[in-house]
Amino acid sequence: MCSFGQDALDSLFWNTTRRPYHPRMILSIIVVLVYAIIHSYILFVHVATLNVAMNSADQTLLTLLISGNFAEIKSTVFKKYNKQHLFKIVTSDICERFKLVLFLGLVLLLNCSQGGMNQEMVNDYVRMSCLILFAEMLCKLKLIIVCTKIKSLLLFFSLDLIFSVELKFNLKVIGSNTVS
């Protein structure tokens, strides 16, 4: 879904810069609006699910959310990866952790704003949030270790990968500044 959104936004950008009065402009706007609505709804459902999982006395839903990571490990262990693909996995996992921290903060803010939270409840919430983040990071660390060990790749200290990403980023920045 994310790559579709990037393509839709790129298409809209291209249409607005190259041919703003073309009939395809309306189609691009409609596609981007539909994508934004669906994406926002999915994120809302994610926050609502996390809120229910954190506020329930039963930890079943929380266990289900964490166990989804083990299914991801099982499905990705035996695939073939190169350094660039593993780098993309790591960066997407970093974005996913940031989103999770943001959503956990939103749920805490929601619960505090609705009242009824004392210091003990906040401490329990922080403990559960730390448990979720630790379990997520542990699962991703296992995934990366298994993938790099099986494939005998050195991911984190690969200078050529870092330089290639930096070069691509610099070329995009230079290219976007020269286009008028």
CA nearest to 51, candidates 65, 72, 36: 65
Average pLDDT taken over every residue of the chain: 75
Q: Residue 157: what pLDDT?
A: 45
152-161 confidence digits (pLDDT tens): 555 454 555 5
For 34-38, 81-85, 115-119, which range has the lowest pLDDT when averaged over its residues?
81-85
Judged against a pLDDT cut of 60, whether residue 58 lies above it is answered with: yes
Question: Is the pLDDT higher at 62 or at 133?
Answer: 133
Provide DSSP, 41-101.
HHHHHHHHHHHHHHH-SS-HHHHHHHHHHHHHHHHHTTS---HHHHHHHHHHHHHHHHHHH
101-147 confidence digits (pLDDT tens): 898 888 888 888 887 778 888 888 888 888 878 877 777 777 767 66
Alpha carbons 110 and 50: distance in angstroms, whole number: 12
For 14-28, 68-82, 122-136, which range has the lowest pLDDT when averaged over its residues?
68-82
Q: Residue 160: what pLDDT?
A: 54
Q: Residue 97: what pLDDT?
A: 82
Beta strands in 129-172 (DSSP E): none
H or E segment and range at residue 136: helix 119-151
CA nearest to 89, candidates 7, 43, 147: 147
Highest mean pLDDT among 54-63, 83-92, 124-133: 124-133
Q: Residue 23: what pLDDT?
A: 84
The model carries a pTM of 0.66
